Amino acid sequence: MRTVLVTGATGFVGTEVCRLLLEHGRQVRAALRSARELPAGVDPVLVGNIGPDTVWSPALTGVDAVVHLAARLQVMRGTARDPLVEFRRVNTAGTKRLAAEAAKAGVRRLVCISTVKVNGEATTGRAFTEDDGPAPEDPYGVSKHEAELALQRVAAGTGIEVVVVRPPLVYGAGVGGNLHRILRAIHAGLPLPFGAVDNRRSLVGVSNLADLIRVCLEHPAAAGQTFLVSDARDLATSELVRLLADGLGRPARLWSVPMPLIRVLGACLGRRAEVERLCGSLQVSAEKAWRVLGWQAPVPIEEGLRRTAERFARSAGR
C-alpha cells in the first residue's frame, strides 16, 4: 500500500494520522473542503463539503486506501430544525457516497472512524465490547451507527474492505472540550469538585489511535471488522486530574463534593451532559484489537497525559 487518502486531515486526529503515515513511508493525500495548510509531504485535493453528492473521483485516483475521519460533530444553533437531518447528510449519506466512489475507483480498504457513542453513553460495571448491540442516544451517535450500516451494505455489494474503529474520548496535545477546560482550571490554580468521584472512563491518546488506524490499514485480519480502542487503563476523573496536574507541575486542588450536588449544580448551569461525561463511567474493552491484530497502545496513558499537559503548559506560558 502506497497512497492513502485522509479525510479530516487538518483536524486533531487527522494531523497525527498524516504524520504517522508519512513516517511509515506512505504517500498521503488530504481531501479538503477548502485550501488549508498541511504538513510537509501531504498532497492536498479540494473536494468541497462532504455529503451525498460530493465528487470524489479526483481525490481517489491512484489511491490504495482511505482513512475517513471527517464528520459533522455538532449542528450550529439555529441552522437546522431537526439536527439528525444535518448529521445524516454528512455522517451517513456522505460516508456512504465516499465508500461507493472508493469502491468504483478500485480502492482496496476504507478505515472509518466512528464513535463509542454507537454503543451508548455510559457503562455500569462492565466495559462495552464489539459484541454489544448498538444503543446510540444522540443524533451524532445515531448518524454514525447508520453510517456503519451503510458501509456494510457497500462492502457486501462491491467487495471493498471496510474497517470501523470506535474511539472513546481522544486526548493529546491541542485537545479541546472538557479536558482543555480541566487543564485551564488546574493551570489557573482553581479547585475542581471531583475528589469524591469514583467513576471509570476509558480514554485513548491521539498517537495511540493513529497507530491503530495504521495497523487497520495494513493488517489482513482487520478487513470487515469493528474495533473499540483505548489506552487499556481506565481512570477515575479524580485520577485524571492528578495526572494532568503532575504534567503541569501544579497541585491538584480537588474538593470532595457529593455527586448528587455536582449533578444539581450541572443542571442549574445548563451543563448536565458535560457533568455526566466527567462524572459517569464509560469503559470500553480493546481486547479484540489485541486478539485479532496483536495491537496494544504503544504509549501508556500516564506518559500520554504528561505530554498533553506539558504541551499545554508551554502554549499557556508556564
Q: List beta partners, residue 65.
A: 4, 109
d(CA 201, CA 279): 9
Q: CA 73, 76, 78 angle in degrees (round to 5)?
A: 145
Catalytic residue among 87, 140, 194, 227: 140
Assess contact for 60 and 105: CB atoms under 8 A. yes
Pick the closest to residue 74 from 119, 148, 139, 14 (CA basis): 139
For residues 265 and 166, give the distance between their C-alpha atoms in angstroms, rounded to a whole number: 31
Largest CA distance in the chain: 58
Q: Are residues 111 and 216 in contact, defined by beta-carbon separation less than 8 angstroms? A: yes
- Give the Cβ contact number of residue 235 at 10 Å: 19
Q: Catalytic site residue 171?
A: no
The CB-side HSE value for 29 (13 A sphere, CA atoms) comes to 19
Q: Nearest Cα to 222, choosing from 65, 106, 101, 94?
A: 65
B/e letters for 157-189, b = 16+ CB within 10 Å, e = fewer, are: eeebbbbbbbbbbbbbbebeebbeebbebbbee
CA distance 59 to 252: 48
CA atoms within 13 A on the CB side of 191: 6
CA-CA-CA-CA dihedral for 263, 169, 220, 17, to nearest 10: 160
Q: How far apart are CA 230 and CA 296, in angstroms?
A: 9
User: Catalytic residues, which ones?
Assistant: 140
